A and B are shown apart, each in its own frame.
Chain A
Protein backbone atom coordinates (compact mmCIF):
# COMPACT_ATOMS: atom_id res chain seq x y z
CA UNK A 1 0.00 0.00 0.00
CA UNK A 2 1.13 3.54 -0.73
CA UNK A 3 1.39 5.83 2.29
CA UNK A 4 1.07 9.59 2.02
CA UNK A 5 2.69 11.90 4.55
CA UNK A 6 1.86 15.59 4.74
CA UNK A 7 3.79 18.31 6.53
CA UNK A 8 3.21 20.29 8.53
CA UNK A 9 0.14 18.98 10.33
CA UNK A 10 -0.82 22.52 11.33
CA UNK A 11 0.26 25.78 9.81
CA UNK A 12 -0.37 29.22 11.30
CA UNK A 13 -0.39 32.03 8.77
CA UNK A 14 -1.74 35.50 8.11
CA UNK A 15 -3.80 36.86 5.25
CA UNK A 16 -1.46 37.65 2.38
CA UNK A 17 1.15 35.07 3.36
CA UNK A 18 2.59 32.59 0.89
CA UNK A 19 1.85 29.10 2.16
CA UNK A 20 3.42 25.81 1.13
CA UNK A 21 2.26 22.32 2.13
CA UNK A 22 4.34 19.25 1.36
CA UNK A 23 3.14 15.74 0.60
CA UNK A 24 5.44 12.74 0.30
CA UNK A 25 4.55 9.33 -1.11
CA UNK A 26 6.09 6.10 0.17
CA UNK A 27 6.84 5.10 -3.43
CA UNK A 28 6.73 6.80 -6.79
CA UNK A 29 3.26 7.78 -7.92
CA UNK A 30 4.34 9.67 -11.06
CA UNK A 31 2.01 12.70 -11.10
CA UNK A 32 -1.12 10.89 -9.92
CA UNK A 33 -1.76 13.27 -7.07
CA UNK A 34 -4.69 15.48 -6.13
CA UNK A 35 -5.23 18.16 -3.50
CA UNK A 36 -8.51 18.78 -1.69
CA UNK A 37 -9.70 21.56 0.59
CA UNK A 38 -12.13 20.79 3.41
CA UNK A 39 -13.93 23.20 5.68
CA UNK A 40 -15.53 22.15 8.99
CA UNK A 41 -18.74 20.20 8.54
CA UNK A 42 -18.42 20.16 4.76
CA UNK A 43 -17.35 17.64 2.15
CA UNK A 44 -13.92 18.05 0.56
CA UNK A 45 -13.50 20.09 -2.60
CA UNK A 46 -11.08 19.17 -5.38
CA UNK A 47 -8.49 21.88 -6.00
CA UNK A 48 -5.73 20.29 -8.06
CA UNK A 49 -5.40 17.04 -10.00
CA UNK A 50 -2.53 15.36 -11.79
CA UNK A 51 -0.17 17.16 -9.39
CA UNK A 52 -0.37 20.56 -11.06
CA UNK A 53 -3.64 20.92 -12.99
CA UNK A 54 -5.98 23.49 -11.49
CA UNK A 55 -9.60 22.38 -11.27
CA UNK A 56 -12.06 24.67 -13.02
CA UNK A 57 -13.27 27.49 -10.80
CA UNK A 58 -10.39 27.23 -8.32
CA UNK A 59 -8.58 30.55 -7.81
CA UNK A 60 -5.21 30.88 -9.51
CA UNK A 61 -3.49 31.60 -6.18
CA UNK A 62 -3.53 27.83 -5.70
CA UNK A 63 -0.84 25.85 -7.47
CA UNK A 64 0.62 22.39 -7.27
CA UNK A 65 3.94 20.92 -8.26
CA UNK A 66 6.03 17.80 -7.99
CA UNK A 67 6.31 14.29 -9.33
CA UNK A 68 7.52 10.92 -8.17
CA UNK A 69 7.40 11.02 -4.39
CA UNK A 70 7.45 14.70 -3.42
CA UNK A 71 4.71 17.23 -4.03
CA UNK A 72 3.75 20.69 -2.88
CA UNK A 73 0.60 22.77 -2.71
CA UNK A 74 1.23 26.51 -2.68
CA UNK A 75 -1.18 29.30 -1.92
CA UNK A 76 0.50 32.43 -3.24
CA UNK A 77 -1.41 34.95 -1.10
CA UNK A 78 -3.57 33.49 1.62
CA UNK A 79 -7.14 34.79 1.68
CA UNK A 80 -9.68 34.61 4.53
CA UNK A 81 -11.61 31.91 2.67
CA UNK A 82 -8.52 29.69 2.53
CA UNK A 83 -8.39 28.86 6.23
CA UNK A 84 -9.26 25.18 6.05
CA UNK A 85 -7.75 21.71 6.08
CA UNK A 86 -5.93 20.46 3.00
CA UNK A 87 -5.43 16.84 1.96
CA UNK A 88 -3.26 15.29 -0.68
CA UNK A 89 -4.45 12.06 -2.30
CA UNK A 90 -2.61 9.59 -4.48
CA UNK A 91 -4.41 7.67 -7.20
CA UNK A 92 -1.55 5.74 -8.73
CA UNK A 93 -2.71 2.60 -6.93
CA UNK A 94 -6.24 2.77 -5.59
CA UNK A 95 -6.49 5.86 -3.41
CA UNK A 96 -4.78 7.09 -0.26
CA UNK A 97 -5.14 10.42 1.49
CA UNK A 98 -2.52 12.22 3.49
CA UNK A 99 -3.36 12.95 7.12
CA UNK A 100 -4.22 16.58 6.38
CA UNK A 101 -2.76 20.02 7.03
CA UNK A 102 -4.84 22.53 8.94
CA UNK A 103 -4.20 26.12 7.91
CA UNK A 104 -5.18 28.37 10.78
CA UNK A 105 -5.13 32.07 11.46
CA UNK A 106 -1.94 33.32 13.07
Chain B
Protein backbone atom coordinates (compact mmCIF):
# COMPACT_ATOMS: atom_id res chain seq x y z
CA UNK B 1 0.00 0.00 0.00
CA UNK B 2 1.32 3.40 -0.98
CA UNK B 3 1.82 5.63 2.03
CA UNK B 4 3.08 9.17 2.34
CA UNK B 5 3.53 10.72 5.75
CA UNK B 6 4.48 14.35 6.22
CA UNK B 7 6.12 15.69 9.36
CA UNK B 8 7.97 18.74 10.58
CA UNK B 9 5.16 21.24 10.68
CA UNK B 10 4.54 23.54 13.60
CA UNK B 11 4.58 27.12 14.80
CA UNK B 12 7.38 29.33 13.49
CA UNK B 13 8.00 33.05 13.79
CA UNK B 14 7.93 35.33 10.76
CA UNK B 15 11.31 35.29 9.07
CA UNK B 16 12.06 31.85 10.44
CA UNK B 17 12.84 28.55 8.78
CA UNK B 18 11.42 25.07 8.84
CA UNK B 19 12.12 21.75 7.16
CA UNK B 20 9.26 19.46 6.21
CA UNK B 21 9.75 15.77 5.56
CA UNK B 22 7.65 13.24 3.68
CA UNK B 23 8.32 9.57 4.39
CA UNK B 24 7.32 7.26 1.57
CA UNK B 25 6.56 3.56 1.74
CA UNK B 26 4.80 0.85 -0.25
CA UNK B 27 6.41 1.73 -3.57
CA UNK B 28 9.79 2.25 -5.22
CA UNK B 29 10.30 5.86 -4.18
CA UNK B 30 13.29 6.42 -6.47
CA UNK B 31 11.12 5.79 -9.54
CA UNK B 32 8.62 8.58 -8.96
CA UNK B 33 8.45 12.32 -9.31
CA UNK B 34 7.20 14.11 -6.23
CA UNK B 35 5.52 17.40 -5.44
CA UNK B 36 4.56 19.66 -2.56
CA UNK B 37 1.11 21.24 -2.54
CA UNK B 38 -0.19 23.56 0.17
CA UNK B 39 -3.57 24.77 1.33
CA UNK B 40 -4.02 27.86 3.45
CA UNK B 41 -6.81 27.63 6.07
CA UNK B 42 -10.17 27.77 4.33
CA UNK B 43 -8.54 28.33 0.95
CA UNK B 44 -7.81 26.34 -2.19
CA UNK B 45 -4.92 24.17 -3.28
CA UNK B 46 -1.63 25.68 -4.43
CA UNK B 47 1.09 23.65 -6.12
CA UNK B 48 4.45 24.88 -4.85
CA UNK B 49 7.26 22.55 -5.86
CA UNK B 50 8.29 19.54 -7.98
CA UNK B 51 11.31 17.26 -8.05
CA UNK B 52 12.06 14.53 -10.55
CA UNK B 53 12.92 10.97 -9.61
CA UNK B 54 16.72 11.42 -9.45
CA UNK B 55 16.54 14.79 -7.71
CA UNK B 56 18.26 16.74 -10.46
CA UNK B 57 15.31 18.72 -11.79
CA UNK B 58 13.22 21.00 -9.60
CA UNK B 59 10.49 23.53 -10.24
CA UNK B 60 8.90 26.10 -7.97
CA UNK B 61 5.87 28.33 -7.90
CA UNK B 62 6.69 32.03 -8.04
CA UNK B 63 5.27 32.46 -4.55
CA UNK B 64 8.07 30.37 -3.00
CA UNK B 65 10.92 30.66 -5.51
CA UNK B 66 14.15 31.69 -3.84
CA UNK B 67 12.83 30.89 -0.36
CA UNK B 68 11.91 27.20 -0.52
CA UNK B 69 14.09 24.28 -1.62
CA UNK B 70 12.83 20.82 -2.49
CA UNK B 71 15.12 17.83 -2.14
CA UNK B 72 14.96 14.08 -1.76
CA UNK B 73 16.98 11.20 -0.38
CA UNK B 74 16.12 8.09 -2.35
CA UNK B 75 18.16 5.90 -0.02
CA UNK B 76 15.91 7.02 2.85
CA UNK B 77 12.69 7.08 0.82
CA UNK B 78 12.20 10.66 1.89
CA UNK B 79 11.19 13.97 0.36
CA UNK B 80 11.99 17.31 1.96
CA UNK B 81 10.96 20.94 1.75
CA UNK B 82 13.30 23.49 3.24
CA UNK B 83 11.45 26.73 3.90
CA UNK B 84 13.17 30.03 4.66
CA UNK B 85 12.04 33.63 5.21
CA UNK B 86 8.59 32.46 6.21
CA UNK B 87 5.70 34.91 6.32
CA UNK B 88 2.10 34.70 7.50
CA UNK B 89 1.11 33.96 3.89
CA UNK B 90 2.98 30.65 4.15
CA UNK B 91 0.61 29.41 6.86
CA UNK B 92 -0.99 26.31 5.39
CA UNK B 93 -1.33 22.57 5.44
CA UNK B 94 1.51 21.18 3.34
CA UNK B 95 0.93 17.96 1.40
CA UNK B 96 3.43 15.80 -0.42
CA UNK B 97 2.04 14.08 -3.51
CA UNK B 98 3.35 11.35 -5.76
CA UNK B 99 3.09 12.15 -9.45
CA UNK B 100 2.57 9.80 -12.34
CA UNK B 101 2.17 11.15 -15.85
CA UNK B 102 1.99 14.54 -14.11
CA UNK B 103 -1.14 13.61 -12.17
CA UNK B 104 -1.14 13.51 -8.39
CA UNK B 105 -2.39 10.03 -7.56
CA UNK B 106 -1.29 9.70 -3.96
CA UNK B 107 -1.19 12.30 -1.23
CA UNK B 108 -0.09 12.38 2.38
CA UNK B 109 -2.38 13.53 5.17
CA UNK B 110 -0.64 16.90 5.40
CA UNK B 111 1.29 18.80 8.03
CA UNK B 112 0.27 22.22 9.32
CA UNK B 113 2.71 25.11 9.26
CA UNK B 114 1.69 28.21 11.20
CA UNK B 115 3.75 31.36 10.82
CA UNK B 116 2.99 33.74 13.65
CA UNK B 117 4.69 35.78 16.34
The interface size of chain A toward B, counting residues with CB under 8 Å, comes to 21
**B59 close to chain A: CB less than 8 A:** yes
Task: List A contacts of B108 (CB < 8 A).
Answer: 43
Task: List A contacts of B53 (CB < 8 A).
Answer: none
User: Given contacts A32-B102, A43-B110, is CB(A94)–CB(B44) below 8 Å?
Assistant: no
Task: List B contacts of A97 (CB < 8 A).
Answer: 44-47
Binding site for A on B (CB under 8 A): 35, 44-47, 50, 59, 61-62, 95, 97, 101-105, 107-110
Residue of A nearest to B110 (CB): A43
Distance (Å) between the CB of A9 and the closest chain B CB? Answer: 10
Contact for B44 among A1, A32, A46, A98, CB less than 8 A = A98
Cβ-defined contact, A95 with B105, below 8 A: no
Residue of B nearest to A100 (CB): B44
Q: How far is the CA of A55 from the CA of B108 in the complex (A)?
A: 19
Task: List B contacts of A34 (CB < 8 A).
Answer: 103-104
Residue of A nearest to B95 (CB): A43
Residue of B nearest to A94 (CB): B59
User: Given contacts A1-B62, A43-B109, A95-B35, is CB(A49)–CB(B45) below 8 Å?
Assistant: no
Q: How far is the CA of A91 from the CA of B105 in the complex (A)?
A: 14
Map CB proximity to B onto A21-60 as digits: 1 under 8 Å, 0 otherwise. 0000000000010101010000111100100000100000
**A20 close to chain B: CB less than 8 A:** no
Cβ-defined contact, B44 with A44, below 8 A: no
Q: How far is the CA of A45 from the CA of B50 in the complex (A)?
A: 19
**A to B CB contacts below 8 Å, 28 in the list:** A32-B102, A36-B45, A36-B104, A38-B45, A43-B97, A43-B107, A43-B109, A44-B45, A45-B107, A46-B103, A46-B105, A49-B101, A55-B105, A87-B44, A89-B47, A91-B102, A91-B103, A94-B47, A94-B59, A94-B61, A95-B35, A95-B47, A96-B47, A97-B45, A97-B47, A99-B44, A100-B44, A100-B45
Distance (Å) between the CB of A30 and the closest chain B CB? Answer: 12
